[in-house]
Amino acid sequence: MSTKELFMNPYVSWMNGSGADGDVVLSSRVRLARNFCRIPFPNRADLAQLEKIQNIVASVLPDIEDVTDEPFEEIILDKLTKLEKNVLIEKHFISNNHIKNSQHREVLISDDGKVSIMVNEEDHLRIQCMVAGLDVKTPLKLALKIDDAIEAKVDIAFDEKMGYLTSCPTNLGTGLRASVMLHLPGLVFTQQISSIINISPQLGLAVRGLYGEGTEVLGNIFQISNQLTLGFTEQELVDNLTSAVKEIIAQERRARTALKLYSMDKLEDEVWRSFGVLKYAHSLSSKEALSFLSKVRLGMDMGIIKETVPEIFNELLVASRTNYLQNLQENENMSQSEIDKKRAEIVRKALKETSIGE
């Protein structure tokens, strides 16, 4: 993937909607936090130390490319416009935190878009691997493989008792955060979602909105991740998350069946109206777009809209984001109404190309 594509193309490979349990699970992601020995964490490091970290990363990059069998793009955040940085956030390649102070910050993104390694975020390295559907094992395996390649060359901060040392104590131990992105309109419509959110902490899990910590739930999309990192093996953490997610998937499917049985007429009407508005609106707010997209996707998954092209939903998740739209126009001074018009235009165009429901 060229740098241009990275910013201009709404599509990223883990969005293709083809993965396991793709009717409910959008994507699975694993992130490992790692730090090099004898260099302060990025928040305490001086510029020379930050640069040294970049140099170490550069020295191990060929090994990473070797084990992943993918070329990587090295993107220096300081060289990006504000909009481009935000597009990378919208595509989940970097975090909000990563752009707060962008000096000597960079991200390595694999050509297939499945791996992104943030350099000098909160930790020296944050190795992120993403795949479509429910499959936490594959990205975990890949992340550990990358980690092994790095550890073969460089000393990583590790304590016999504590495990991997990290900037924030919540990441101590495995340094592992595994998360799954779920589309749960059935549980939202049947008002069962709150009980799932309430029970999650007791299972060592956190439930958040589309863009992680503290973000509002949009488009009925929820991110579920492990809270604990210490005292369990990577495998145990991943198994725990996976079995909880499987239970939620079963509940979501039951909720959809109930909707089919008891409110099919209402649901069918809402799904098609959402489709009609997306197809013809000339102005769409971000929130509206996600809400309508969620209903259309539900309609596709429930067979209400027959010609299923679920990847449209996933693609539009990015394509309708504000920063992506602004970057596409090469204009960060677009007014809200210009953004909403552009968003509607892109959605109309995408749906016209699929020409469902004619």
Please give, one letter per residue, the 3-state secondary structure of 79-143.
HCCHHHHHHHHHCCCCCHHHHCCCCCCEEEEECCCCEEEEECCCCCEEEEEEEECCCCHHHHHHH
Give the C-alpha separation, 54 to 307, whole Å: 48
Binder among 278, 300, 325, 347 for its own copies (CB under 8 A): 278
Subset of residues 241 to 270 that bind its own copies, contact rule: CB under 8 A? 265-266, 268-269
70: enclosing H helix or E strand: none
Site membership for its own copies, residue 102 (CB under 8 A): no
* Residue 235 contacts its own copies per CB under 8 A: no
The answer to whether residue 210 forms part of the interface with its own copies (CB under 8 A) is no
**Is 33 buried (19+), middle (13-18) or exposed (0-12) by CB count in 10 A?**
buried
273, 307, 336, 349: which one contacts its own copies (CB under 8 A)?
273
Beta strand pairing call for 115-119 and 176-183: unpaired
Which amino acid is residue 204, in one-letter code? G
Min dist CB 310 to its own copies, Å, is 19
Q: Binding residue for its own copies (CB under 8 A) from 276, 308, 311, 331?
A: 276
* Distance, CA of 353 to CA of 197 (rounded, Å): 37
Please say which residue, 160 or 265, places its beta carbon nearer to its own copies.
265
> How distant, in Å, are the alpha carbons of 16, 24, 249, 280 from that of 256?
22, 11, 10, 27
- Exposure string for 263-274, b = 16+ CB within 10 A, e = fewer: eeeebbebbbeb
Q: Is 46 exposed, middle or buried (0-12, 13-18, 19+ CB in 10 A)?
A: exposed
Among 94, 119, 245, 277, binds its own copies (CB under 8 A): 277
| Strand ranges (E), the chain | 25-34, 72-76, 106-110, 115-119, 125-132, 158-159, 163-164, 176-183, 205-208, 221-226
Does position 82 interact with its own copies (CB under 8 A)? The reply is: no
Q: Any contact of residue 357 with its own copies (CB under 8 A)?
A: yes
Total number of residues binding its own copies (CB under 8 A)? 20
Which of 91, 126, 279, 295 contacts its own copies by CB under 8 A? 279
Q: Which one among 37, 243, 280, 354 touches its own copies, defined by CB under 8 A?
A: 280
Q: What whole-number distance in Å separates Cα of residue 7 and Cα of residue 85?
A: 9
Q: Does 308 participate in binding its own copies (rule CB under 8 A)?
A: no
- Which residue among 97, 102, 283, 308 contacts its own copies (CB under 8 A)? 283
In the bound state with its own copies, the residue whose beta carbon lies nearer, of 123 and 340, is 340
Would you count residue 300 as binding its own copies (CB under 8 A)?
Answer: no
Q: Which residue among 7, 189, 275, 324 contacts its own copies (CB under 8 A)?
A: 275
C-beta of 278: minimal distance to its own copies in Å? 8
Please pick, from the candidates 56, 146, 187, 281, the single residue that binds its own copies as defined by CB under 8 A. 281
Binders of its own copies among residues 332 to 351 (CB under 8 A) are 337, 341, 344
H/E element, 165? none
Determine if 309 is a binding residue for its own copies (CB under 8 A). no
**Nearest residue (CB) to its own copies, 16 versus 285:** 285
* Binding region for its own copies (CB under 8 A): 265-266, 268-269, 272-273, 275-283, 337, 341, 344, 357-358
